[in-house]
Structure 1
């Protein structure tokens, strides 16, 4: 499984546009092959910070997601609305049973 975490920090005047763009991206991404989950939330201590958490079945599925034109457009649009460059981290993980 591939886990992607990331965040963006909106400018005060763009936070509504960032939220709308983020929700549209999450809803679209959830329909893509290999997407196990895709979430966005706001940081309660820093309301202009939007946090993304995604789970993908494989690196191939994530790479296909990155090649979707709407994903590239999302990244470009988001960068133009934020205080700084979006941050993203990608991890390869395995589920662990907790007893």
Structure 2
């Protein structure tokens, strides 16, 4: 789904296709799509709402969440100054 978002030039605020369309488009099972959407939501990349106009909408991850991801990476890696500079 992330690759599709990039390849189709989706932007923050755009809605993702409905679950059934994602299943057909990606050629995967319903559980796989639901798990992927849950993962994207946990990463702060989408917001999922219910109701007649519900669905997944692309969001901008908060700075804190991005910082946490980089911090987790650095915690388990031996990082040299070149890598650290590239991460900035």
TM-score, structure 1 normalization: 0.29
Q: Bigger relative contact order, structure 1 or 2, given CA contacts below 8 A and separation 6+?
A: 1
Higher strand share: 1
